Amino acid sequence: MPATEPRRTELDAFHESLGATFTDFAGWRMPVRYASDLAEHAAVRSSAGLFDLSHMGEIHLRGPQAADSLDHALAGRLSAIAVGRAKYTLLLSEQGTVLDDLIVYRLAEDHFLVVANAANVAVDREALTARAVGFDVEVADESADTALLAVQGPASEAILRDLLTDAGGTIAGVAAEDLTALGYYRVLQGSYEEAELLVARTGYTGEDGFELYLPADRAESLARRLLAVGGERLVPCGLACRDTLRLEAGMPLYGHELSRDLYPVQAGLGKVVALRTKGDFVGRAGVESAPTEGLPVLVGLAAEGRRAARAGAEVRTTGGETIGAITSGALSPTLGHPIAMALIHPEHTAEGTALVVDVRGKDLPVRVVPLPFYTRH
């Protein structure tokens, strides 16, 4: 059987025009880099980068019982967030393991937007639809019609403020002072070229930044305006630097630090599960009865030199006992030494513990360090 062609975002030709190199990611053809991973990474840490994240999923819940439906379906207490705010949460299996990690925005009292990882959109849609039965709510997957652009980095606010004044009236409902006042995990609603625009102060890089949701057919226009306004301050960025940025920030990636084989507490996300602040929900009984004692837990690892451990590499004690595996690893462009996240036996997670990682058949000495590896100042 011939391989299925990866899907393309609305910006595919735009990326080609900028000289992007592509990769297949979660069934999508996505730009992995334009020129240099390191240069793109550095741009986000020092100025700003522009990302196309249109492979992500956007699932809307509308109706009088939208909040109640999400309280039942998800691990967090979504009914408690105010309009204009967002919350990081988890979609759990009946057994209490992680099906996906999500960001949920409350756009109105009866309207929520659930943003899903690209590989999990179908799973999330089906789960949210099934769990909405009996509630007065409509679940609509609008992923195919929605684009997502991210502007990330310390110059991101200045660039977006310039966009508001430069866009010739095509952006409405978002004022520069509102943008500056917008807190982390907050969202503004406006319009671009007379189509709905959401401006959220969220991101996946460890830097200040914004994520812009709009109809897919407006995406290229907005991307070109952003690059024109940003000038030398804004660099197109691919998935390669997005991965090293999120790793430095200690942010989990589904399929690496999170999976349907792992409980939230193993990834340090036990507090995301609202056991104390709400009643029953799908996965609660599984979490409460989970046999988590002795299961691997997530830690940060750091090493000297230039050799980096990659996902799947074996982690051992200095005495040679296998105690876990690397989930993500890279040579940190910001810190200048190898870093990794790993799931290891809880007896060996104390800060400073000396361990060994197998890097292509050679031992790499590492030590346990706190997460995140990098925090913006």
pLDDT tens string 111-156: 999 999 999 999 999 999 999 999 999 999 999 999 999 999 999 9
> Dihedrals φ, ψ of 103, to 5°?
-115, 130
Do 236 and 311 have their domain in common?
no
Do 39 and 187 have their domain in common?
yes
Do 221 and 352 have their domain in common?
no
Put the strands of the sheet holding 86-92 in their side by side order: 86-92, 98-108, 111-116, 57-62, 138-141
Residue 284 lies in a domain: no
Do 241 and 173 have their domain in common?
yes
Domain boundary among 247, 265, 281: 247
Q: How many domains does the chain have?
A: 2
Cα torsion through 340, 342, 346, 348, rounded to 10? -40
Residue 79 lies in a domain: no
Residue 61 lies in a domain: no
In this prediction, residue 1 carries a pLDDT of 42
* Percent above pLDDT 90 for the chain: 96
Do 163 and 238 have their domain in common?
yes
In this prediction, residue 212 carries a pLDDT of 98
Mean pLDDT (whole number) for 210-216: 98
Residue 329 lies in a domain: yes
In this prediction, residue 337 carries a pLDDT of 98
Domain boundary among 247, 281, 303: 247
Do 174 and 230 have their domain in common?
yes
Spatial neighbors of 112 by CB under 8 A, at least 6 apart, are 60, 61, 62, 66, 67, 70, 78, 104, 105, 106
Do 228 and 356 have their domain in common?
no
Do 233 and 340 have their domain in common?
no
- How would residue 76 be classed by pLDDT, with cut points 50, 70 and 90? very high
Do 192 and 314 have their domain in common?
no
pLDDT surpasses 70 at 3 = no
Residue 306 lies in a domain: yes
Domain that holds residue 328: 293-372
Domain boundary among 227, 247, 267: 247
Q: Each residue of 288-326: pLDDT tens digit? A: 999 989 999 999 999 999 999 999 999 999 999 999 999
User: CATH number, domain at 367?
Assistant: 2.40.30.110
pTM (2 d.p.): 0.96
pLDDT surpasses 50 at 345 = yes
User: CATH number, domain at 223?
Assistant: 3.30.1360.120
Residue 341, Cα to own-chain centre: how many angstroms? 16
Do 227 and 305 have their domain in common?
no
Do 236 and 353 have their domain in common?
no
